[in-house]
A and B are shown apart, each in its own frame.
Chain A
Amino acid sequence: MTVSALRTEGLGFVYPEGTRALEGVDLEILQGERVAIIGQNGSGKSTLVRHFNGLLRPTEGSVAVAGTPVGMRHVAELAREVGLAFQNPDRQIFSGRVAREVEFGPRNIGISGQELAACVNDALAAVGLEGRAEANPYDLGFSQRKLLALASVLAMRPPIVVLDEPTTGQDANGIGRVRSIVEMLSSDGRTVVAISHDMRFVAETFARIIVMRAGRVVLDGSPREVFAQEQWPILASTYLEPPLAARIGARMGAGSTPTEAMLVERLLEQGGAMGTGRAG
Chain B
Amino acid sequence: MTLALRGVRYRYAGAAAAALEGVSLTLEPGHVLGVVGPNGAGKSTLCLVAAGLAPATIGGELAGEVRIDGVTTASSRPHELAQRCGILFQNPTTQLSGTSATVWEEVAFGPRNLGLPLEEVVARVDAALDALTIRPLADRDPERLSGGQAQLVALAGVLALRPAYLVLDEPTSQLDPQGTRLVGTAIGELARQTGAGVLVVEHKTDLLATIAEQVAVLVAGSVVASDEAASILADARLEAWGIESPSRIRIERAARRAGVHLVSEVEA
Chains A and B share a contact (CB less than 8 Å): yes
Interface residues of A (CB under 8 A from B): 40-42, 141-143, 168-175, 197, 199-200, 239-241, 243-245, 247-248, 251-252, 260-261, 263-264, 267-268, 272-276, 278
A260 touches B254 (CB 8 A): yes
Q: Tell me the complex Cα distance, A263–B258, Å.
A: 11
Kindly list chain A residues whose C-beta atoms are within 8 Å of the C-beta of B244. 171-172, 175
Q: Is the CB of A244 within 8 A of B247?
A: yes
Contacts of B170 in A (CB 8 A): 169
- By a CB distance below 8 angstroms, the chain A residues around B64 are none
Question: CB of B55 within 8 A of chain A?
Answer: no
A41 touches B176 (CB 8 A): yes
Give CA–CA (A51, B178) in the complex, Å.
Answer: 26
Chain B 140-181 interface residues, beta-carbon cutoff 8 Å to A: 146-147, 170, 173-181
Chain A residues with CB below 8 A from B37, complex form? 171
List B162-217 residues whose CB lies under 8 Å from chain A. Answer: 170, 173-181, 203, 206
Whether B267 and A272, one on each chain, are in contact in the complex, defined by CB atoms closer than 8 angstroms, is: no
A273 CB contact (under 8 Å) in B173, B247, B260:
B260
Interface pair A169/B146, CB less than 8 Å apart: no
Contact across chains for B258 and A169 when beta carbons are under 8 A apart: no
Q: With an 8 A cutoff between CB atoms, is B248 at the interface?
A: yes
Give the docked Cα–Cα distance between A243 and B262 (Å). Answer: 16
Q: Given the complex, which residues of A lie within 8 Å of B250, measured CB to CB?
A: 260
Interface positions, chain B 215-268, Cβ under 8 Å from A, are 239, 242-244, 247-248, 250-251, 254-255, 258-263, 266-268
Give residues in B with beta carbon < 8 Å to A.
Answer: 37-40, 90, 146-147, 170, 173-181, 203, 206, 239, 242-244, 247-248, 250-251, 254-255, 258-263, 266-268
Report chain A residues within 8 Å CB of B262.
248, 252, 267, 275
Question: What residue in chain A is nearest B36 (Cβ atoms)?
Answer: A171
Partner pick for A264 among B38, B181, B258, CB 8 A cutoff: B258
For the complex formed, measure the closest distance between the CB of A133 and the CB atoms of chain B, giving whole angstroms: 19
A247 near B266: Cβ-Cβ < 8 Å: yes
CA–CA, A142 and B203, complex, Å: 14
> Contact at A243–B38, with CB atoms within 8 Å?
no
The 8 Å CB contact of B242, one of A42, A171, A243, is: A171
Interface residue from B146, B242, B248 paired with A244 (Cβ < 8 Å): B248
Contact check, B260 vs A267: say whether CB atoms are below 8 A apart.
yes
CB-CB < 8 A to B176: which residues of A?
40-41, 197, 239
A267 to B244, CA, bound (A): 24
Assess whether B243 is in contact with A171, with CB atoms less than 8 Å apart.
Answer: yes
Tell me the bound Cα distance from A278 to B264 in angstroms.
9
Chain B residues, CB < 8 A from A273: 259-261
Contact yes or no, B177 A275, CB < 8 A = no
Q: Is the CB of B251 within 8 A of A171?
A: no
- Contact flag A272-B260 (CB < 8 Å), given A172-B38, A247-B267: yes
By beta carbon, the residue of chain A nearest B90 is A169
Q: Which residues of B contact A247 (CB under 8 A)?
A: 266-267
By Cβ-Cβ distance, the 9 closest A-B pairs, closest first, are A239-B178, A141-B40, A244-B247, A143-B39, A172-B244, A267-B260, A41-B176, A171-B38, A171-B39
A267 touches B255 (CB 8 A): yes
Q: Is the CB of A251 within 8 A of B258?
A: no
Q: Are A267 and B251 in contact (CB under 8 A)?
A: no
Q: Judge whether A245 and B247 touch: CB under 8 Å.
A: yes
Q: Is the beta-carbon distance between A263 and B251 smaller than 8 angstroms? A: yes
Which residue of chain B is the closest to A199 with respect to CB atoms? B177
B239 engages A172 (CB within 8 Å): yes
Q: In the bound complex, what is the Cα–Cα distance between A179 and B255 (angstroms)?
A: 23
Q: Which residues of B contact A264 (CB under 8 A)?
A: 251, 254-255, 258, 260
Cβ of A245 to closest chain B Cβ, rounded Å:
6
Instruction: Kindly list chain A residues whose C-beta atoms are within 8 Å of the C-beta of B177.
Output: 40, 197, 199, 239-241
Bound CA–CA A247/B170 (angstroms): 26
Taken together as a complex, chains A and B put the C-alpha atoms of A42 and B177 apart, in Å, by 12
Task: Give Cα A175–Cα B250 distance, bound, in whole angstroms.
Answer: 16
